[in-house]
Copies of this chain bind each other. A is one copy, B any other.
């Protein structure tokens, strides 16, 4: 049994708590929280809850610690710190800062003889893998990543900060015409506006100036101004009833040419349609936690990403079984 710890307990931590139960070769040692443990209500009542200060005393009890904090402030310090004690997996997703995060975690893990996997999830993660495979197979080509339809927490938060807004949810929506243009191998040059639109559902305070709110949303630099944005005002009841999920997904499409004179075209398309972004991310993390446990048991150490890990390590099945049933 692979013994798992969950470090940080929000949506992602809850997803990991559920995902572990789908994998018979894993067991959950407990959740580690900065809050008072007795105030934390886990999904399953028998899940032990510890204060983060106890983690350092439990290195022998845990094979892989899964870090479920945020990329902005938690993971840049937590992952290197925890890698000194445990094999770790995180879902660090600030793309531009991945190289420096990798270096910091790699240094800590090498010094401690532990193994770490960072930026595990679907983007970065499964989407990165698909970009890599597709580019390696079709070097004379171009790839496109689309996101959605799905909830962007950052954009939803940005709307909530506007005066007169009580609550909001923003969906990123890929534009079908752009997807079709990419699939038709036209290698289109697509502007930001042509790839995605932003669909906003807003609860306004009573008496608030809706026209002003709508204008503030649509003109917000970076977040909305460069996109076509729709704003729909609804009641809190409607928001709670119709927009309570955290769906997401997207597409990685590469089109490329082969042949003597590039006369043949090929399309590789990978897509995800996810009811729950955090639960799916948790499921990816759990598969990579298995790989980390195995590779660590073989004596490997340092930092890895999904690009470095042999696929077979993700499965509980043996190599011979995989060759027989999957290949």
Chain A residues with a Cβ under 8 A of chain B: 15, 18-19, 22-23, 43-44, 95, 98-99, 102, 119, 124, 126, 128-133, 135-140, 183, 258-260, 264-276, 279-280, 282-284, 287, 290, 305-312, 314-315, 319-320, 322-324, 326-327
Contacts and interface: CB of A to CB of B under 8 A. Distances in A.
In this complex, the member of A131, A274, A326 whose beta carbon has the largest number of chain B beta carbons within 10 angstroms is A326
Counting every copy of the chain, the complex holds 2
A266 B276 CA distance: 8
A259 B136 CA distance: 35
B327 A287 contact: no
Contacts of A305: 323, 327
B258 A279 contact: yes
A310 B309 contact: yes
A270 B270 contact: yes
A128 B280 contact: no
B273 A326 contact: no
A310 B311 CA distance: 7
A270 B290 CA distance: 23
Contacts of A320: 99
B315 A306 contact: no
B137 A287 contact: yes
Given A133-B126, A327-B98, A258 B270 contact: no
5 contacts: A102-B323, A131-B326, A132-B312, A137-B314, A269-B270
Given A124-B327, A320-B99, A132 B311 contact: yes
A126 B130 CA distance: 10
